[in-house]
Amino acid sequence: MIKFRSKSKIGEGIVYYNRVFGLSVNSSAYAFKVLVGFVILMAIKSQLSRRVLLLCIAILLVGFVTSFNRTAIVAAGIGFLMFYCNNWRVLLASFTSGCVVCVYYLSSLIDNFNRGKDGVDLSGRDYIFNEFLTLFMQRPFLGNATRKVWLQIDGNLYHAHNSYLEFMASNGIFISLLFFTGYYLLILRGRLLIALPLLVYSVFQYGLLWGLVFHDVVFFGLMFYLLKSEYGVQTSPVQEDVAICQVS
């Protein structure tokens, strides 16, 4: 385990323990909405003026800080790098800004990302992942007969905190392979770049594949909007970014 010296008591001055979620059911749902906003902004950024784009980015930054969902922040960071992979000016400016922030706030950033603890904190995901993976290995072909699996700990029910692991443990490898193949061919093919932040988020959160809920409805709406743009008169700016990144 990698250990750091925390300068604050657990919970004292840590943004993680002071998160808000507004009208959402919890901070994770709020963070997912902010991440969706980020993805939509990247999809339509070429249609906005510079002033409006910067204003939207500022609002989203406030959303990421107030929700302080570590997975959402990392997913947005990865997505940002991919969206601007062909724009060295933006990457250089972002790298320089990141270095300046780290110089002045490195200790505070480490404290906040580790929730004020001395080591890297996974919020129990290492244990939950292992339990769901064990269940999947016990029933690899049929899973839980398509019924969603929940892990009971001290009287509380927990999902896998991983959309893909939850889906495979619930449905087994046959249904999962069939579903993911169709999911890629019909939804993700040609639009993988714009979907990347939400796909990364779903590795450590239950983001996509919930069913007919906000997460998936908005995601499918965005994907089909891009599909319509792809076959329309004008080329989607996201498609151009994908092509440029692939060539690079």
Which pLDDT band, with edges at 50, 70 and 90, does 125 fall under? confident
Mean pLDDT along residues 28-52: 91
Closest CA to 197 of 49, 64, 46: 64
Report the C-alpha gap between 246 and 241 in whole angstroms. Answer: 9
Chain mean pLDDT for the chain: 81
pLDDT above 80: residue 69: yes
pLDDT above 80: residue 177: yes
Which pLDDT band, with edges at 50, 70 and 90, does 198 fall under? very high
pLDDT above 80: residue 113: no
- pTM for the model stands at 0.78
Closest CA to 207 of 162, 150, 157: 162
pLDDT above 60: residue 149: yes
pLDDT above 90: residue 178: yes
Q: Is the dihedral of CA 167, 171, 173, 175 positive or negative?
A: negative
Closest CA to 19 of 53, 58, 50, 65: 65
Among the residue ranges 30-34, 44-48, 62-66, 108-112, the one predicted with the least confidence is 108-112
Sequence ranges of the domains in the chain:
15-247
Which pLDDT band, with edges at 50, 70 and 90, does 212 fall under? low
Report the C-alpha gap between 94 and 186 in whole angstroms. Answer: 34
Looking at mean pLDDT, say which of 83-87, 110-114, 235-239 comes out highest: 83-87
In this predicted model, which residue has the larger pLDDT, 29 or 15? 29
In this predicted model, which residue has the larger pLDDT, 143 or 218? 143
| pLDDT of 220 | 79
Report the C-alpha gap between 168 and 141 in whole angstroms. Answer: 9
| pLDDT of 236 | 46
Q: From the CB of residue 194, how many other CB atoms can be counted at a distance below 10 Å?
A: 25
Mean pLDDT along residues 147-176: 89
Mean pLDDT along residues 101-129: 77
Residue listed under structure tokens 């604050």 = 8
Q: Which residues contact 76 (CB under 8 A, 6 or more apart)?
A: 35, 38, 64, 197
| pLDDT of 244 | 46
Largest Cα separation within the chain, whole Å, is 58
pLDDT above 90: residue 61: yes
